[in-house]
């Protein structure tokens, strides 16, 4: 019968006509009728009988709808196709992340973002290079740091941060083109706020220096004038690196001036800080070299500046470790070790920038030169035969881990 069912109507009739003499009439009638396909009726489990103890129990449903889950009380009335509709949890869900969804608004700036912007503006990662100026100035005179040294250190920190804020305020138009991520061009800090911060920090620095004595105030005033002149007038001139070197040297002399005993703190007694002049000049020379490299950090392309700074680093280390005795003392060995650390910190990124003067490597060389100030200050403070100088050198060198940690979070340049 399966074979007959597959034949066409004409072929089946012709075949049955030939077989009619051989097949009984009853069977011949059944074969002449085309077969029909039937499907078994769906099996539905019997619905439980209603509980007579609970009058609110719905009556069992019959038919196909009996296999569907009960409809909640607050659902809309069933339509004609409700019984054939699958449950809600089996329907394909609409993609809620499609492109038709409205974009969410950007989150408002948080206080953490504002604090990070100010940390970036004030170069907090480079602040660890400032205390060594005042401490080295005191060690150069063979004196222990005292209260006036702490005041000079506070004045140095304030004036340094004032110079950083004023620098970004003065360069806001240039940074909008070359460094739009900086706090002022990115809109995180307004130019007025940056200028106000520079003014307030300068006033605070001079106030702290005044409490350390009149000679310290005079040195701090010269330092503040140099910082403002550099940021507003001299930065983009050939005198820019010399102005920055002068500021760093004056910062070291500020610590020496403030640390001297009060009876000798007179204008004529400024000649007493002569022992601090050689360290100030060496620190100024390093600052001059680093500043010359930083003038190319936005666009790169200079090989001469990193090479000159590399040569200067070796020359400064040689002058710092110059021995006066045939036999090396413990202080001279400490100074040699610190000078070696200084060269290693400054020379490696400078060499990379000289070989490939790209902006990223040039910026890395500037950052390495800034961090190299700490071992240089420590080497200058480690006077041979002076235990106070050795202790000061180790204290200054203790700021190096802090400088590395902060540099990973906020750029020092």
Question: Over the stretch 13-28, which tens digit does the pLDDT of each residue have?
Answer: 666 666 666 666 666 6
Question: What is the 8-class DSSP label of residue 299?
Answer: T
What gap in Å lies between CA 193 and CA 191, rounded to an integer? Answer: 5
pTM passes above 0.75 = no
Alpha-carbon distance of 303 to 18, in angstroms, equals 108
Residues whose CB falls within 8 Å of the CB of residue 149, separated by 6 or more in sequence, listed in order: 134, 135, 138, 255, 258, 259
Q: What is the pLDDT of residue 90?
A: 45
Cβ-based neighbour number of residue 277 at 10 Å: 14
What pLDDT is recorded for position 281? 97
pLDDT of residue 337: 95
Give CA–CA dist 61/46, Å, rounded. Answer: 10
Q: Sign of dihedral through CA atoms 239, 241, 247, 252?
A: negative
CA angle at 284 for the pair 279 and 285, rounded to the nearest 5° = 100
Question: What is the reported pLDDT for 83?
Answer: 41
User: Per the structure block, which two tokens stand in for 108?
Assistant: 């408002």
How would you write 132-150 as a 3-class SS string?
Answer: HHHHHHHHHCCCCCCHHHH
How far apart are the C-alpha atoms of 29 and 19, rounded to whole Å?
12
Give the residue from 129, 127, 260, 255 showing the smallest Cα distance to 201.
Answer: 127
Q: Which two tokens stand for residue 210?
A: 């005044």
Rounded to whole angstroms, how far apart are CA atoms 75 and 87? 12
Structural tokens at position 237: 């001139």
Is residue 64 within 8 A of residue 84, CB to CB? The reply is yes
pLDDT computed for residue 324 by the predictor: 60
Please answer whether residues 382 and 338 qualify as being in contact, where contact means their C-beta atoms are separated by less than 8 angstroms: yes
Provide the sign of the torsion angle of the four alpha carbons 141, 259, 126, 405, taken in this order.
positive
Distance in angstroms (rounded) separating the CA atoms of residues 108 and 85: 46
Percent of the residues in the chain that have a pLDDT greater than 70, as a whole number: 69
Residues of the chain with pLDDT under 70: 1-113, 262-271, 324-328
Q: Is 223 exposed, middle or buried (0-12, 13-18, 19+ CB in 10 A)?
A: buried
Burial of 16 by CB count in 10 Å (0-12 exposed, 13-18 middle, 19+ buried)? middle
pLDDT at 110: 38
């Amino acid at each position: 019968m399966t074979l007959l069912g597959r034949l066409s109507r004409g072929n089946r009739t012709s075949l049955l006509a030939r077989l009619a003499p051989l097949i009984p009439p009853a069977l011949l009638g059944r074969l002449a009728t085309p077969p029909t396909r039937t499907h078994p009726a769906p099996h539905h489990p019997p619905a439980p009988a209603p509980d007579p103890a609970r009058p609110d129990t719905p009556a069992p449903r019959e038919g196909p709808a009996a296999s569907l889950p009960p409809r909640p009380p607050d659902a809309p009335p069933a339509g004609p196709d409700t019984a054939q509709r699958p449950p809600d949890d089996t329907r394909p869900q609409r993609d809620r992340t499609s492109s038709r969804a409205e974009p969410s608004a950007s989150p408002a700036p948080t206080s953490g973002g504002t604090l990070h912007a100010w940390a970036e503006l004030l170069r907090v990662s480079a602040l660890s290079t400032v205390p060594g100026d005042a401490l080295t100035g005191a060690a150069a005179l063979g004196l222990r740091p005292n209260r006036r040294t702490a005041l000079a250190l506070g004045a140095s920190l304030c004036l340094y941060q004032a110079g950083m804020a004023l620098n970004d305020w003065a360069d806001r138009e240039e940074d909008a083109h070359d460094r739009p991520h900086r706090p002022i061009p990115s809109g995180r800090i307004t130019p007025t706020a940056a200028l106000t911060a520079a003014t307030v920090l300068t006033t605070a620095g001079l106030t702290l220096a005044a409490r350390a004595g009149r000679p310290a105030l005079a040195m701090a005033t010269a330092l503040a004038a140099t910082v403002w002149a550099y940021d507003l007038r001299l930065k983009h001139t050939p005198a820019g690196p010399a102005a920055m070197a002068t500021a760093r040297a004056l910062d070291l002399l500020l610590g020496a001036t403030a640390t001297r005993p009060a009876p000798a703190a007179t204008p004529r007694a400024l000649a007493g800080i002569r022992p601090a002049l050689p360290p100030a000049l060496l620190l100024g020379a390093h600052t001059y070299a680093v500043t010359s490299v930083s003038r190319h950090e936005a666009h790169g392309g200079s090989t001469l500046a990193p090479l000159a700074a590399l040569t200067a680093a070796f020359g400064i280390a040689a002058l710092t470790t110059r021995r006066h005795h045939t036999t090396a003392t413990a202080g001279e060995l400490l100074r040699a070790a610190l000078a070696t650390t200084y060269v290693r910190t400054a020379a490696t990124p400078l060499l990379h920038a000289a070989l490939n003067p790209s902006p990223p490597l040039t910026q890395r060389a500037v950052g390495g030169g800034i961090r190299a100030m700490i071992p240089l200050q420590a080497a200058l403070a480690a006077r041979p035969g002076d235990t106070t100088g050795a202790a000061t050198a180790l204290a200054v060198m203790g700021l190096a881990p802090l400088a590395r940690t902060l540099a990973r979070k906020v750029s020092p340049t």
